[in-house]
Chains A and B, each alone.
Chain A
C-alpha cells in the first residue's frame, strides 16, 4: 500500500478542480463551419464524478478533446475558458499543456487497442509516461509500472508487464490504459466511453475499478458515456448533451428522479425496464445533423411539447432546484 500512497498525496485548496466556462468548439469545414460544442459550461469539484451523457455526434468527446488541447485541425476552440487549478488551459502554450496532460489530467479512451502501441510492451507504456514527466529513472520505472499494474488489479503484474497489448483481453487493456493514465498522479481523469467496447460483466469490473481508483488516488472523474445506466451507477452529477449543448445538468439523483428537459425524460423513458412486451416510449425523429441544425432549440423538431418560441431561439438556462439546471422554455427559459 505504501507505494500507492505515493501516488495519492496530492492536495488542492479550492473545491472546484475544473471549470469549463462557455466553451465553444468549431470545425472549419465546407460549406460552413460546424459548431460541435456550443457554449458549454460545467464544473467538476474535487473528488467528484461528473457524467457527460449524449448520443453520437452530441459533442461529448469533442468537449473532452477541447479540454485537454488535443483537438485536431479543422477543429478549434472558438470561445470560452477551461480553468484547471486556476489556469486557463485554452491559453497555455503547448509545452506547458504537455505537462498538464498526464500529470494534471489523465485520460482513458474507448478503444484501448487503438490507444496502445502494438509493438510496445505494457510496461513500456507506463514507463514512458513516468520518464517523460521526470517522475522516475529508467531503473525505477519498471518497478513503478509493476506497482501500477497491481493497483489496477491485473493479476501477476510482474509477468504481465512484459506482455504486448495483443496478448491481453479487452478488459485487461482498459486496465493498462488506466495504469498509464494514473502513472503521473493526475487530479482529474477523463474517461471517454471506457466500457463501451467491453462485455457487460467486464464493464462492471472496470466500473468498479474506476470507483476504487477514484477513492484511492483522490481523483475527480469526467466520465463520458451514452449509457445512462453507467451514469446512474458511477456519477455524482450528470450533464446531458444534445447537439453540442448541455441541455440539463444536476445531481444524478435529481436528474434521474425529476428530469426537467423533454430530451432527458425521453432518454430515460426509452430504456427498457419492467415493461416487458409493451411498446417502448421512443423519442420520435432522428439525431440532428450538426451541419444543419434548426434555428432555436435543436431538440424542438423531436419534442412533443414544442411551442412557437422553441423554433425561434435557444432558451436561457434556468435553475429548477438546488444544483439542477435546464435549458428549456417549459421550465421558464427565456429567449
Chain B
C-alpha cells in the first residue's frame, strides 16, 4: 500500500457577515481533516449536505483555497505549488462533477468539451487530438460517431460519460468523483458505477469517491471516512465500518438507509447530539479502524 494522496490537518473556514452592524461569523466547513488515499484504492468520503465532504475534495484540487493544512500528492505539497506547477499537477488529478447537466458547456460540441484539456496542455496535433477523443469516447462507452453532437443531444448517463472522458483525457492517476451518479436514474446509475470500476482496473486509477448514498459507497469503496460537521468522525475499511460502526453519527446514518427487503427489521437509531463529543480526536478502535469516540 503506497500512499498516493495524503491530506494533513486540512482546514477551510468561510467567513460570513462582517457588515456594518453584523458581527463576522466563521463557518468551519472543513475542520482539521486528515486522511490517506492509497494507490489503486477507492476511498469514500460520506456525509450529509453541509458535512464538508465536497469542500474537502475541492480544496484538494485547489478549486477553493484551503485556510490551512497540507495536501501531499506523491509526497509533494500541492498547496505550496506555484500556479504553473499546479497547472501541470492537474494533469494527474482530475475531477468528475455531480450534475452532468450544468457541468458541460451547452454551446460546445462533445468533441470540443473532451478535447479542451488537450488543447490547454498543448498535446498533439489537431488530428492526434481528434483520434484521442474518439478513443476516449470508445473507452467510456460512447459512440465515436456522436463526437460532434451537443450535450443536450445526450441522456444524463451519457453526459456523465462525457464528463468522465474529459477527466481521463490527460491520463490522470487520481480522480475525485463528487456524487458522480446521484443525478442519474436508478437503472443508469449502475451502468456508470460499473464503468468507473472497469476504468479503475484498466487504467490503474485511484479514486476519491464523494457520496451520500451508503449503499453505493459500500459497493464501490475499499475504505471510507464519515464526515460530520466538517470533521471525520469515523474511518476505516468499508466492510469493517458497515459491520462494526462505533460513532453515534455513523450508527444513525447506517440505520437510516432504507432496506430494499420489505421484511427487513427496521431499527432506526436517532442521533442524540449529546452523544457526540465535539472535537474528540480519532482514536484507533481496531486494526485500521478509527473513531472519534
**Interface residues, chain A, CB within 8 Å of chain B?**
55-56, 199-205, 207-208, 226-230, 232-233, 252-253, 256-257, 266-268, 270-273, 275-277, 279-284, 286-287
Query: Which residues of chain B come closer than 8 Å to A226, judged between CB atoms?
Result: 185-186
A252 contacts B191, C-beta separation under 8 Å: no
User: In terms of DSSP, what is the predominant structure of the interface of chain B?
Assistant: helix
Chain B residues with CB below 8 A from A280, complex form? 190, 193-194, 219
**Residues from chain A with Cβ under 8 Å of B194 in the complex:** 279-280, 282
Give 7 closest A-B pairs by Cβ, nearest first.
A229-B258, A272-B219, A282-B190, A204-B256, A270-B190, A199-B48, A280-B190
On chain B, the residues within 8 Å of A205 by CB distance are 270
B262: chain A residues at CB < 8 Å are 232-233, 252-253, 256-257
B260 at interface, CB cutoff 8 A? yes
Interchain pairs with CB closer than 8 A, number: 114
Write the nearest CB–CB distance from A225 to chain B, whole angstroms.
Answer: 10
A256 touches which of B48, B49, B253, B261 (Cβ 8 Å): B261
Contact of A204 among B186, B218, B239, B268 (CB under 8 A): B268
Asked whether, in the complex, the Cβ of A271 is within 8 Å of the Cβ of B258, the reply is no
- Contact yes or no, A233 B48, CB < 8 A: no
Interface residues on B, range: 35 or more
Q: Is the CB of B219 within 8 A of A276?
A: yes
Cross-chain pairs A/B with CB under 8 angstroms, 16 sampled: A55-B185, A200-B213, A201-B271, A270-B186, A271-B186, A271-B215, A272-B193, A272-B215, A272-B216, A276-B219, A277-B220, A282-B188, A283-B187, A283-B191, A286-B155, A286-B188
Q: Does B131 contact A (CB under 8 A)?
A: no
Question: Given A229-B258, A233-B266, A280-B190, 7 more contacts at CB 8 Å?
Answer: A201-B48, A232-B260, A232-B261, A272-B218, A276-B219, A279-B194, A282-B187
Q: Determine whether B38 belongs to the interface, using a CB cutoff of 8 Å to chain A.
A: no
**Are B259 and A267 neighbours in the complex by a CB distance under 8 Å?**
no
* A263, chain B: closest CB distance, angstroms: 8
Choose among A207, A228, A277 the residue with the greatest number of B CB atoms under 10 Å from its CB. A277
Q: A253-B263, A272-B219 are in contact. Are A267 and B193 (CB under 8 A)?
A: no
B264's closest neighbor in chain A, by CB? A232
- Note all chain A residues with C-beta closer than 8 A to B214: 200
CB pair A229–B187 under 8 Å, yes or no, is: no
Check B239 against A276 for contact (C-beta < 8 Å). Answer: yes
Cβ of B57 to closest chain A Cβ, rounded Å: 18
Residue of B nearest to A55 (CB): B185
Pairwise interchain contact A203-B256, C-beta atoms closer than 8 A: yes
